[in-house]
Structure 1
Amino acid sequence: GCARRKIMPDRTNPSISRAALLRIAPLTTFPALPSFASTSHKAGVLLRDGSLLPLASFGVQIYDDRTAEALTLQALKAGFTSFFTSADAGNQRGFARALAQSGVQRSNLFVAASVLSDDVESFTGARSRTARACVESLRNLERGGLSGVDMLMLERPARTRAGIAGQWSALRGMRDAGACQSLGVCNFGLDELDALVEESPLVNQLPFSLGVRMPHAAVLKAHARRGVQLQAWGPLGGPDNYFPKSLLAECAAIGRPSGWSGQQVALRWILQSGVAFCVHSGNPRHLRDDIAVLDFELSEEAMHTLSALATKPWSA
């Protein structure tokens, strides 16, 4: 989750050469990735490095390769061209096969891959674990027919400042080796973002939604000051992200006159707050509804009402 943890002081030297990283995780030469074509996607937000993050992404969850393949094709058919995948889900080959089968040009797709390496506290241990995880992820995708990703992300921060520095050093080395174009993180608190002293990530993926208790405006401002774009995971709830029925009913009441569902209103509030989102569904209609939020706009009054709802007491 996005709960902030106390970071232990750094007791190691965070400096490492690219050559040392490559000795830890031998890499093949990665092909140059085509630039993501902004004109091919309905909407995106410009990141600090000039690259484009699509506003709406589909997140591949934990299931087998066959299911990942089927649901990814379903998401592509609904209109998604941006995807989030993780090696720990165990289905990257199936996901990659779907992209290869779809016939969609690689330049019209945006693929972000996260790696899990938060259980090592030392700089060298975290760096090594992260580098190996990146190589494993990229090889899984390549076996399914996808060469390279647009963004590599850390799934969670390590528990020490030294560990975080090691994780980040590995990701920067992968980017320098040509494995990706951009770097991001997931579930980083502000202290953990500030541990990345040499370079901030472009994106931080957090459970940002009307259903999550947090000072939304303050969180947005803090990330903006650091040049970090927010992306919401679980924006409509899920196993680990609660979204009260009473809150959804109030969203539905706002959307009803215009024919928008409560879920669509909740997603649109996220977008108009300046945050991208990553959703998951096995229902084709839900996916079409999710991508359709790119095509309408909430009034300023509705935005104020929704922001106020995020701070009021809820019933289940």
Structure 2
Amino acid sequence: MSLYFERSYQRAFGTFPLRGEELRTAVRDAIATGYRAFDTAQMYGNEAELGEALADSGVGRDELCITTKVHPDNFGEDRFMRSVEASLDALRVDRVDALLLHWPMPGGDNRGPLELLQQARRRGLAAHIGVSNFTAGMMREAVARLDEPLVANQVEFHPLLDQSVLLRAAAETGVPLSSFCSVARGEVFRYPVFGEIAAEYGRTPAQIVLRWILQKGVPITTMSTKPQNIRANFEVMDFVLSSIDMARIDALAATNHRCVDSSKVPWAPDWD
């Protein structure tokens, strides 16, 4: 297992849409809780603030795992490397642990950005590379095109969305999925089953959701500004959901609720 996954395979702290003092406070609380993996993106506009917060944290660089993502506006050959170098300057690091393409290209031709992503790793700007919001077909094409391994396809993943096609593609290609919108921006809490299962385990509904994702073999990226929720999101490693409870939650995939689509993000592909 790569160093990237040794540090962040289970739990990462997301930073969207945090800015300013709110971000600095949340990162400070996340560090105190035990988080060492942090996720940002050029699109979030907070790389410099995250870099400052991590530099001020007192945690050594070799203990941190930092992921950022390249904005689609920077996918051109004339802008890609300069944008990555700007991200590194903002984050105050010589390289990131993982560099992802944030979205696929409109129309689905990702050959150019993928080659530039691979070049970035070979230039030492990133320890690992990956993608985000890629469809199953795009995952297969990326693996066929690249010589370097992809360590993640970061996608919307929660119990209200059927991502079985992407899970099969992950098993087929060897490109692991990683989650965002892990609690469907709060939509999951409308469903009583999470509260019922939480009561059985002495946990919170959010912890049940996150544990379900982990037992699907998918790392979680979570964000909160409340210290108690930051701790709760982190403390999901010391219990296991039964197969019966997993199946109860699995049934909610038929809801097919998606938080992020082309009505919200212009780069969103035609999902599987």
Same fold per superposition (TM over 0.5): yes
Deviation at residue 161 of structure 1 after TM alignment: 4.9
Corresponding residue SS for 2:96: coil
Tell me the number of residue pairs that the alignment of Structure 1 and Structure 2 aligns.
253
What residue is the counterpart of 2:266 in the other structure? none
What residue is the counterpart of 2:173 in the other structure? 226
Structure 2 stretches of 5 or more lacking a match?
Answer: 258-272
What residue is the counterpart of 2:237 in the other structure? 294
Does structure 1 residue 137 correspond to structure 2 residue 81?
Answer: no
Report the AA paired with residue 25 of structure 2: A
Quick check: 1:127–1:168 contact (8 Å CA) kept in 2? no
CA distance in 2, matches of 1:68, 1:309: 33
Quick check: 1:87–1:136 contact (8 Å CA) kept in 2? no
Report the AA paired with residue 211 of structure 2: R
Structure 1 stretches of 5 or more lacking a match?
Answer: 1-45
What residue is the counterpart of 1:201 in the other structure? 150
Describe how 1:127-206 pairs up with structure 2 within 5 A: 127-142=77-92, 146-162=93-109, 164-196=110-142, 197-199=144-146, 201-206=150-155
Deviation at residue 261 of structure 1 after TM alignment: 1.0
Does structure 1 residue 115 correspond to structure 2 residue 70?
Answer: yes
Moved more, 56-65 or 253-262: 56-65
Deviation at residue 62 of structure 1 after TM alignment: 3.0
What residue is the counterpart of 2:16 in the other structure? 61
CA RMSD across the alignment: 2.3
CA distance in 1, matches of 2:256, 2:18: 35
What residue is the counterpart of 1:84 in the other structure? 39
User: Which of the residues 187, 190, 209 maps onto 1:243?
Assistant: 187
Does structure 1 residue 306 correspond to structure 2 residue 255?
Answer: no
Deviation at residue 289 of structure 1 after TM alignment: 0.4
CA distance in 2, matches of 1:278, 1:70: 18
CA distance in 1, matches of 2:52, 2:120: 23
Describe how 1:210-225 pairs up with structure 2 within 5 A: 210-212=159-161, 214=162, 216-225=163-172
Report the AA paired with residue 206 of structure 2: Q
Does structure 1 residue 285 correspond to structure 2 residue 240?
Answer: no
Quick check: 2:102–2:132 contact (8 Å CA) kept in 1? yes
Deviation at residue 158 of structure 1 after TM alignment: 0.9
Instruction: Give the 3 Å change call, closer, same or farther, for CA 313–96 of structure 1 in structure 2.
Output: closer
TM-superposition CA deviations, 1:36-93 (whole Å, max 9, x none):
xxxxxxxxxx35x985343111111134333322221121112211110112222212
Q: Identity over the aligned pairs, expressed in percent?
A: 27
The structure having more radius of gyration, on CA atoms, is 1
Quick check: 2:211–2:236 contact (8 Å CA) kept in 1? yes
CA distance in 2, matches of 1:148, 1:229: 22
Report the AA paired with residue 34 of structure 2: G
Quick check: 2:98–2:130 contact (8 Å CA) kept in 1? yes
Corresponding residue SS for 1:102: coil
CA distance in 2, matches of 1:105, 1:207: 31
CA distance in 2, matches of 1:293, 1:173: 37
Report the AA paired with residue 70 of structure 1: T
TM-superposition CA deviations, 1:232-277 (whole Å, max 9, x none):
1010122xxx624432x21110120221111110110000010001
Report the AA paired with residue 209 of structure 2: A
Instruction: Give the 3 Å change call, closer, same or farther, for CA 129–289 of structure 1 in structure 2.
Output: same
